[in-house]
Amino acid sequence: MVVDVVEEKKEIIARYRKLLRKAKPVLKDGDAKLIKKAFTLALEAHKDMRRKSGEPFIFHPLTVAEICVEEIGLGTTSIIAALMHDVVEDTDIELGDIERMFGKKIAQIVDGLTKIRGVFEYGTSAQAENFRKMLFTLSEDVRVILIKLADRLHNMRTLDSMPRNKQLKVASETIYLYAPLAHRLGLNAIKSELEDLYLRFTDYQSFRDIANKIDETKASRNKFIKQFVLPIKEEMDKLKVNYEIKSRPKSIFSIYNKMRKQSIPFEEIYDLFAIRVIIDTPLEQEKSYCWQVYSIVTDYYTPNPDRLRDWISTPKGNGYESLHATVMAKNGQWVEVQIRTQRMDEIAEKGYAAHWKYKDNNASHESNLEKWLVRVRELLERQDLTALEFVDDFRGNLFNEEVFVFTPKGELKTLPKGATALDFAFEIHTGVGSKCIGAKVNQKLVPINHVLKNGDQIEILTSGKQKPNEDWLRFVVSPKAKSKIKEALKEDKKNIAEEGKEILLRKLNQLKLEPNGQTYEQMQAYFDTSSKFDLHYRIGKGLITVNDLKRYKEFKPSSAIKSRPHTPGTDAKLVEQELTRARGRNEDILLIGEDMDVVEYKLAKCCTPIPGDDVFGFVTVNEGIKIHRTTCPNATELLANHGNRVIKAKWTSQHEVSFLTGLKVIGTDRVGLINDVSKIISEELKVNMSSISFNTDHGIFNGEIMLYVNDTRHLEMLISKLEKVEGMVTVARFDSRSN
């Protein structure tokens, strides 16, 4: 690639000036000089580096800094940290140098953004360890996460230039952790874009289809919106308040999710867009004006009482405030109307950063976010969690919507959706939770696993004889309750596990087996235990006997990864090298099909891939290489936590081999329907069925058919034929089936 150095330098300076222009409103005296110093340092440090796309590396920190300013609303400290977020990781500059030049605060943020170096124990997750490290800094300074989100957003926007296995790893991490994190911090625009980009890189076909359909319906949608808002505008003009009416289409990812969850086509999604009314009012008049606007809207359009959401009186946990109403338009279509002020709108788009701008006006506005940060700090203080357990608990903190409930004295408590009376008890106090035997909800006696609803008033009943048991973990949902129950149970378990550890070490010594990381990893897989602790506990409890340990000695891991030397972090690379040698070729792609007879692999049962599917290979501990669809329900977690075990995989030869897959069919029942379906499958297309089951309920039938097909084209032809059967409403492939 020929590089025009002069043009490149001009472009770098142009981008730097653009950053300064965007930052101008937030700069104070001396800030520009500090930013220039950081830019000069980053430019020098990254001078010989290029991104995968071929462009100079400095473009990346400049863009991240720009996102911090323009899309998140951060200031000078964040700009400087963003410009230098990769220098410690990728160059010779050390944290001490940054602290000397820019002070402790910026050095601390850069440290939080720097990945951990060194070797990880086999079976742990480098990705999870780095995420936990970053969150340690979050508890001190939220800006570390906000800059990381800007960094992730730019990486996702430029993911085209990365190899396929890296695309899947980065996209899956994004949907698993970073998109929900953006949601929790109130960064709605960034969360939606990250989700859409995830879909684009994991299921491009679905992404493109939905995007095209949104474009195709744009003209008719705009015409409808224009007519819908006309009477609202006329009334709003009389209010004598500045206002703006906008409409926004639902994100591609949320449409995709709705289509999948409800098994409906694009055309049946009624809330493709929302109308947003934004008013400019003083803080003390916000609530009354928003309700006045609600009154105007519902004067013209009939509201759905079940779809009214008042996030102004009780803001969401991420600080989001708005009044949502779903109303019926004159053409019989439901339309969501969101009513909010300019302040609320800025918080909805820029989240946490916008809170600080309004903090002096009303400190309670970020109280829910502050409470969430306190919960994160509590989680970080727990020393007994592995990085993977920590990430799992942390996601529990991120994903849940809230339910608002009250104590007997009327104090409001916010809990995750699906929370039970026992969750509430632990929210009050660990001692109350541990002794909880039941509760009174709205004066009515209920068991501890009773699920709470918005507005419930709860009184907890306790007994000195009660203590936590394993069963409790099945129905609590709040991370606090889970962790406190686990702590109580662990004390007892620790002693049993210690005994188990001694038994195991003695036995390994007798069997002449080395008690190293790899042995433990293979034993965990063999005995199906989730951790070392679990393995020791089951031995101590007698669930794994001495005879079982002898049998393990005879167990041999799969030949695909047996006896290979382990280098942490390079699992997939080692296997790919072995495969290349076995095939005698230099391709870095794992080919699936008749060309691969020399290499063992298994098709994952969780997603039953067939030729033509977009797939990846995953190196398991004791079952060799497993092939998963990129849309597999388990793919996100595997890729987000163990991206280093991913191998590119591609179907190259589609010889006549049959693969088992499932179809779900729904329609209106009639005589002869099953016969028509069977005829198409068996006679017209000569497809073998493994099983077929139909249920009918009041004239509606639901059917599940397991059948053997050659590839995705074969399957699509079958679906197309079945859709033409009289009475058929939907025909869809299973996402997964049980083992």
Q: Which CATH superfamily is domain 211-350 in?
A: Beta Polymerase, domain 2 (3.30.460.10)
Question: Does 174 or 393 have the greater pLDDT score?
Answer: 174
**Mind giving me the DSSP string for 33-80?**
HHHHHHHHHHHHHTTT-B-TTSSBTTHHHHHHHHHIIIII---HHHHH
Domain chopping of the chain, boundaries: 5-187, 211-350, 487-554, 571-651, 659-733
Q: Name the band, by pLDDT with cuts 50, 70 and 90, for residue 211.
A: very high
CATH 3.30.70.260 fits 659-733, yes or no: yes
Whether the Cβ atoms of residue 334 and residue 315 lie closer than 8 Å to each other = no
**Mind giving me the DSSP string for 215-278?**
HHTHHHHHHHHHHHHHHHHHHHHHT-S-EEEEEEEPPHHHHHHHHHHHT--GGG-S-SEEEEEE
Whether the Cβ atoms of residue 196 and residue 251 lie closer than 8 Å to each other = yes
Q: Name the band, by pLDDT with cuts 50, 70 and 90, for residue 365.
A: very low
Q: How far apart are CA 426 and CA 482, in angstroms?
A: 9
Q: How far apart are CA 566 and CA 517, in angstroms?
A: 10
The pLDDT value given to residue 734: 74
Neighbours of 396 (CB within 10 A): 17
The pLDDT value given to residue 158: 92
What is the distance between the terminal CA atoms of the chain, rounded to a whole angstrom? 50
pLDDT digits (tens, 9 = 90+) for 452-502: 988 889 999 999 888 888 889 999 988 788 888 888 887 777 888 888 888
pLDDT digits (tens, 9 = 90+) for 491-548: 777 888 888 888 888 888 888 888 887 788 888 878 888 778 888 888 888 888 888 8
Widest CA span of the chain, in angstroms?
89
Alpha helices for 315-384 (secondary structure H): 342-350, 352-357, 367-381
Question: Does the predicted TM-score (pTM) go above 0.75?
Answer: no
Average pLDDT over residues 600-625: 80
Domain 5-187 and domain 211-350, same fold? Reply is no
Residue 617 tokens, joined? 């290979």
Alpha helices for 121-251 (secondary structure H): 126-138, 143-157, 164-173, 179-184, 188-202, 204-216, 218-238
Task: State the average pLDDT for the chain.
Answer: 81
Q: Which fold would CATH assign to domain 5-187? A: Hypothetical protein af1432 (1.10.3210)
